[in-house]
Chain A
Amino acid sequence: MADDLIARVELRAAHGPRRSAELSLDAGAFPIAVLFGPSGAGKSTLLRCLAGLDRPSAGVVSWRGRPWFDATTWVPPQRRDVGFVAQHGALFPHLDVAANVAFGLDALSPSERSRRVDECVARFELGALRHRAPSTLSGGERQRVALARAIARRPSLLLLDEPFSALDHPARSALRADLRRWVRELSLPTLLVTHDPSEAMAIGDSLAVLDAGRVRQSGPVGEVFERPLDAATARILGVDTLVPAAVLRATEGGAVLLAGGRELAASAPVGITGEVRVCVRAEDVALLARDPGGGRNGAPGRVLRVDDEGAFTVVALDCGYPLLARMPRRVFRELGLGEGDAVFAAIDEGAAWVVAEG
């Protein structure tokens, strides 16, 4: 398939190390492609090179067949037709909300411009904020205006650099849902950078996992999160526990493994053998007061530590290997468990996933 977006860049700063990063996405990755990875992976570098805000010392940047940068080409940000929104929105403090939204609309005639501003004010629900100064807005309102300002120009590509990371939880989820709606309504290809797994899952259609400048894995969001390619990718994606295990035999769509001296069943890619890791998300582990018998998938263990995480409780277990379980607080209270108690950890066979060691 032809790649829609290509960014293969190398940057050399006067002081500091040479950085390089690459990413390519095909049309199927949009409308919302998420670029995910730990800090320092090169996500922002790629995004800034795509926007034209950083100029690589070598490489290629192109979008839908138009070269933006290569050995002989340099297209400045003004002529790339991209929308760019960063963490703090960068609203112009001397202009009110409507003037901020209108800033990028110089190419339109005055009547078209005011019509477009009206339309954006309605679409992005800015009516009450229209004549307010940016300094009087909340963080969520600011990002809403920043998104409206970037989208008002109908750019060919929307680039978002952790646009929600400075917001509190309710504002964040509301704006995420709105962004999904706007992007779909306008069928606007969007590349969003985040280091937050739950954000990636909540908003993305596709996901590319970036580590040290290279894409480790990419594909539909659900697939990447549920079926990481290897242990290192699983760690980046925030899998809570990677249980060391050995493959005993393959089954249909899975494998039976030896983990902590006991058999454990899990989903697995075809043909995997030898020393492996089993990815177990803490929410896929259920705690039972005692072994229910009947060959229930899981392992007996002992409670090591109990931590409260807001509405959830995280229990650290020793099952011959360390294992984490997460459940609603009330569910844990009803179990009546404390540190040192014996327990049975039931592991969802379909959700547990076997990856190669590494």
Chain B
Amino acid sequence: MDWTALALSLRLAAVTTVILLALSLPLAWWLATTRWRWRHVVDALVAMPMLLPPTVLGYYLLIALGPRSPIGALLIRLTGESLPFTFPGLVVGSVLYSLPFAVQPMRASFARVDRELLEAAWCLGASRARTFVRVVLPLSRAGVVAAAVLTFVHTLGEFGVVLMLGGNLPGRTRTVSVAIYDQVQSLDYAAANRTAGVLVALSFALLALTYHAQREGAFRWPTT
């Protein structure tokens, strides 16, 4: 059992979830409310990582962040470090890879908030930001929790992007799914079995907890 890899995966999932929540709240709200004619393009872009093979995403990120691309070169100049094969590089990849899992549940629950409630809040003097915090967020709790859980579990299980972008450096970029792959490659089925079992149990426990809380009425799971 590769505990270092598991710890790294949990850390990656946690950091990715926090960043994605912060990023997706405004993005999902904008997508749910804008009447901009090209919003469908943004919608499609956000959904892309769901359909793209993870290796393709990982490959492009590796090229884009590498020292020979303008972006990569700029990052090296600014931070003195190259992102591929580092933990921050993995975070960038995971954020992009799990973006649709954060945005879409939030977007769906934001879209279900009755516009009349927003108008009532505005006429009662609440700014748009305050309306979002005091009306939209409390009524979208289910969607936000769903987004967080899905992002976390999805990041925990990612493989293709991690392998392409992060490689397999123990303690730095070797996640639990890469560890399983390694164990199978070296024909250590017993270890692979244990690690895979832990991952299955963890993901199941998280989802089961979420569903339980939903049934207890702590929040509603989005129905669409």
Interface residues, chain A, with chain B CB atoms under 8 Å away? 14, 51-53, 76-80, 82-84, 86, 88, 90-94, 103-104, 106-107, 149-150, 153
Complex contacts, B120 vs chain A, CB 8 Å: 84, 86, 90-92, 149
> Distance (Å) between the CB of A288 and the closest chain B CB?
53
Complex: chain A residue closest to B134, CB-CB: A103
> Distance (Å) between the CB of A133 and the closest chain B CB?
12
Contact for B138 among A14, A52, A94, A104, CB less than 8 A = A94
A–B Cβ pairs within 8 angstroms, 13 of them: A53-B122, A53-B123, A80-B123, A86-B116, A86-B119, A90-B114, A90-B116, A92-B121, A93-B139, A103-B126, A106-B126, A107-B125, A150-B123
Residue B33 CB within 8 A of the other chain = no
Q: Are A106 and B125 in contact (CB under 8 A)?
A: yes
Complex: chain B residue closest to A88, CB-CB: B116
Complex: chain B residue closest to A81, CB-CB: B125
> Distance (Å) between the CB of A1 and the closest chain B CB?
28
Q: Are A83 and B138 in contact (CB under 8 A)?
A: no
Q: Are B139 and A77 in contact (CB under 8 A)?
A: no
Residue B52 CB within 8 A of the other chain = no
Contact for A78 among B35, B117, B125, CB less than 8 A = B125
Complex: chain B residue closest to A152, CB-CB: B124
Q: Are A153 and B122 in contact (CB under 8 A)?
A: no
Contact for B123 among A77, A92, A93, A106, CB less than 8 A = A77
Q: How far is the CA of A76 from the CA of B119 in the complex (A)?
A: 11
Q: How far is the CA of A150 from the CA of B120 in the complex (A)?
A: 9
Complex: chain A residue closest to B35, CB-CB: A14
Residue B127 CB within 8 A of the other chain = yes
Q: How far is the CA of A79 from the CA of B114 in the complex (A)?
A: 22
Q: Are A84 and B123 in contact (CB under 8 A)?
A: yes
Complex contacts, B126 vs chain A, CB 8 Å: 78, 103-104, 106
Q: How far is the CA of A91 from the CA of B135 in the complex (A)?
A: 11
Is chain B's interface secondary structure helix, strand, loop, or mixed overall?
Answer: helix
Q: Are B122 and A78 in contact (CB under 8 A)?
A: yes
> Distance (Å) between the CB of B184 and the closest chain A CB?
49
Q: How far is the CA of A92 from the CA of B124 in the complex (A)?
A: 12
Complex contacts, A93 vs chain B, CB 8 Å: 117, 139
Complex contacts, B125 vs chain A, CB 8 Å: 78-79, 104, 106-107, 153
Q: B interface, how many residues as a size bin?
A: 10 to 19
Q: Are A77 and B122 in contact (CB under 8 A)?
A: yes
Q: How far is the CA of A14 from the CA of B124 in the complex (A)?
A: 29
Complex contacts, B119 vs chain A, CB 8 Å: 51, 53, 77, 84, 86, 90
Q: How far is the CA of A107 from the CA of B138 in the complex (A)?
A: 22
Complex contacts, A84 vs chain B, CB 8 Å: 119-120, 123
> Distance (Å) between the CB of B189 and the closest chain A CB?
51
- Apart from A51-B119, A77-B119, A83-B123, 7 more pairs, CB < 8 Å: A78-B125, A84-B120, A92-B120, A92-B121, A103-B124, A149-B124, A153-B125
Interface residues, chain B, with chain A CB atoms under 8 Å away? 35, 114, 116-117, 119-127, 134-135, 138-139
Q: How far is the CA of A93 from the CA of B120 in the complex (A)?
A: 12
Complex contacts, B135 vs chain A, CB 8 Å: 92
Given A53-B122, A76-B122, A78-B122, decide whether A90 and B127 contact each other with a Cβ distance below 8 A.
Answer: no
> Distance (Å) between the CB of A152 and the closest chain B CB?
9
Instruction: Name, among B114, B119, B127, B138, the residue most crowded by chain A CB atoms within 10 Å (CB to CB).
Output: B119
Complex contacts, B138 vs chain A, CB 8 Å: 94
> Distance (Å) between the CB of B125 and the closest chain A CB?
5
In order of increasing CB-CB distance, the 7 nearest A-B pairs are A104-B124, A84-B123, A90-B116, A90-B120, A77-B122, A94-B138, A77-B123
Complex contacts, B127 vs chain A, CB 8 Å: 78
Instruction: Name, among B114, B117, B122, the residue most crowded by chain A CB atoms within 10 Å (CB to CB).
Output: B122
Complex contacts, B124 vs chain A, CB 8 Å: 103-104, 149-150, 153
Q: How far is the CA of A86 from the CA of B121 in the complex (A)?
A: 13
> Distance (Å) between the CB of A11 and the closest chain B CB?
15
> Distance (Å) between the CB of A134 and the closest chain B CB?
11
Complex: chain A residue closest to B137, CB-CB: A94
Q: How far is the CA of A92 from the CA of B119 in the complex (A)?
A: 11
Complex contacts, A92 vs chain B, CB 8 Å: 117, 120-121, 135
Q: How far is the CA of A123 from the CA of B126 in the complex (A)?
A: 24
Q: How far is the CA of A127 from the CA of B138 in the complex (A)?
A: 26
> Distance (Å) between the CB of B121 and the closest chain A CB?
7
Instruction: Name, among B116, B117, B124, the residue most crowded by chain A CB atoms within 10 Å (CB to CB).
Output: B124
> Distance (Å) between the CB of A326 and the closest chain B CB?
37
> Distance (Å) between the CB of B41 and the closest chain A CB?
18
> Distance (Å) between the CB of B14 and the closest chain A CB?
28
Complex contacts, B116 vs chain A, CB 8 Å: 86, 88, 90
Q: Are A90 and B117 in contact (CB under 8 A)?
A: yes
Q: How far is the CA of A84 from the CA of B124 in the complex (A)?
A: 8
